[in-house]
Homo-oligomer: A and B are copies of this chain.
Amino acid sequence: MPKAPVTSPRLQDVAEAAGVSIATASRSLSGATGVSASVAERVRETARAMGYVVNLHARSLAGGPTRSVGLLVHEIGDPYFSEIASGVLGVGSREGLTVQICHTGRDPERELAQIRTLVAHRVGAIIVAGSGMVDAATQAPAKAELQAFRRSGGRVAVIGRHHLGVDAVLPDNTEGARAVAQHLLDLGHRRIAVAAGSRQLTTVADRIAGIEAAFAAAGLDFPGVPVVEADFTRAGGKVAAEEILARHPGVTAVLALNDDMAIGVLSTLRARGVSVPAQMSVTGFDDVAVAGDLAPSLTTVRLPMAEMGEQALLLALKEPGTRPRRRHVGAELVVRDSTGRPPS
């Protein structure tokens, strides 16, 4: 049997089968007015029977609305981002939008390339979920690209502090870090070390600023506090913990700047036989889903990641305002079992 060239039915096929013009078919299927109810229903029924599915490329080219958005994350395997993505996908699903997710791997060049790809896809909106950089120059090309995108009608929203000049969802990193640092100080800790990601990340910089504020409020000196920089990941947490143990033996509490690092810290401490919180207190940041299920369960700062994702998409979907909008979301201290009084 000769293989007939099989292609999916087009709008014109549906129109012919239903005995109407292609224009009427289009109106019927998109729910536009100006078609009699009976004709519209007949067309829809025909389309269903033929297994017709609109070609979104054609629709978009012809000037129809764009039904897709792009989401930039550093790494989707990281729970922080997968929870944000979950929020974005949830709203997207409700709104009938598909979400294209891209990895940037915290690499500005990769980020730029991914933005270009999303622009090429003519997505309606781009959401940048990864942290911004302290040095505005690093992301300058990305900024230029995003601004061109906005000029041509695209929407942009970011999560976290960026120099991008666009709508933003801003978690209160400084206040959260201040609260968790104060919690440790209140418990009596004075020899605290910080396990940090790159200070180039605004997230890291803001959290460190919060810790400084807590020290200042307590009338304590911050400059002496060791801040160990490593990858902002579990592996980085392990590295940082090793270094803290080796080079700062008097430390009684490790303040990790995200949960992933805290998990790495806990892992290293367990391996080294340091009991938490009896000998060492540990705190995280973000409150990823497993934080409460670790043992000891992790004292951390809760950020509503899924909600942040939702808010970012909602912000991007709104009519653009004249000035960038900001949605602040709270950071709440969650005290669990990984913190206690310092050993006496």
Contact residues of A with B, CB < 8 Å?
A: 1-8, 51, 53-58, 60-61, 63-68, 70, 75-79, 82-83, 85-86, 89-90, 93, 96-103, 110, 114, 116-122, 124-125, 148, 151-155, 234, 263-264, 266-267, 270, 289-290, 292-296, 306, 317
Contacts and interface: CB of A to CB of B under 8 A. Distances in A.
Number of copies: 2
Given A3-B65, A77-B306, A153-B2, A98 B86 contact: no
Contacts of A119: 8, 53
Most buried by B among A51, A70, A77, A317: A77
Contact of A99 (B83, B93, B100): B100
A121 B68 CA distance: 9
8 contacts: A2-B124, A4-B63, A6-B153, A54-B120, A76-B76, A77-B83, A99-B101, A290-B294
A77 B68 contact: no
Contact of A100 (B98, B264, B266): B98
A117 B119 CA distance: 20
A77 B124 contact: no
A296 B293 contact: no
A83 B4 CA distance: 30
A5 B154 contact: yes
A266 B293 contact: yes
Grouping DSSP codes into helix (H, G, I), strand (E, B) and loop, the A interface class, with mixed when no group exceeds half, is mixed
B98 A117 contact: yes
B56 A122 contact: yes
Contacts of A78: 82
Nearest to A84: B77
B77 A5 contact: no
Contact of A55 (B76, B120, B295): B120
A76 B66 contact: no
A292 B290 CA distance: 12
A64 to B, nearest CB: 8
Contacts of A82: 76-79, 82, 85
A48 to B, nearest CB: 11
A55 B61 contact: yes
B98 A103 contact: no
Contacts of A57: 56-58, 60-61, 121-122
Contacts of A60: 4, 57
Nearest to A7: B152
A148 B49 CA distance: 13
B293 A66 contact: no
A22 B99 CA distance: 32
Given A2-B155, A7-B151, 10 more contacts: A4-B64, A5-B122, A68-B121, A70-B98, A76-B89, A77-B306, A85-B101, A264-B293, A266-B293, A290-B294
